[in-house]
Amino acid sequence: MQLETERLTLHPLVPGDARYLWPVLSDARTMHHWPQPYGYADCERWVRRAVEVRQEIGISRCLIRRKSDGRVVGDAGIFILPVADLERVYDLGWMVHWPYQGLGYATEAARAIRDQALGPLGLKRLIVNLNWKNHPSRQVALKLGARFLRRFHNHRYRWTPTELYEITA
């Protein structure tokens, strides 16, 4: 299932897509809110996980491509994972490569994913968790209608202070 917005197409990740994600997820500038950039094997695991989640719930992480030139500018979508003290949540996230940040792509892509997940797919709740210093992603979450829940220290990311938001149907 491919989603489209005014400027973007969102292609579900499939085996082999690590080659498109690696330039994004391996870039230190793009990944500065993460513990470290990803290696190629990390990108392959990311894609495998996305395929598994899509098989379970019908949606997962997607490549974000610009319609104007087909260029991959990032990824967005849902993973199922434990966050804070919550065992299993539908975690909505996005990653836009630094040359394309500030152009509204993250909001546009995440909105399409949110609408599909909470609409036709029938999910009732999405969680957004982000590094407390990631002000641009916080703004995206708020534009999506997310409500702040709390801050916690994320053991998965070297105990980094992390903010937890919720979007409900």
- Total of domains in the chain: 1
pTM of the model: 0.94
Q: Which domain holds residue 9?
A: 3-168
- pLDDT one-digit tens code per residue, 132-168: 999 999 999 999 999 999 999 876 666 688 999 999 9
- pLDDT one-digit tens code per residue, 12-40: 999 999 999 999 999 999 999 988 899 99
CA–CA gap between residue 129 and residue 110 (Å, rounded): 13
Helix ranges (DSSP H) in the chain: 18-25, 40-57, 105-118, 135-143
CATH of the domain at 69: 3.40.630.30
CA–CA gap between residue 121 and residue 119 (Å, rounded): 6
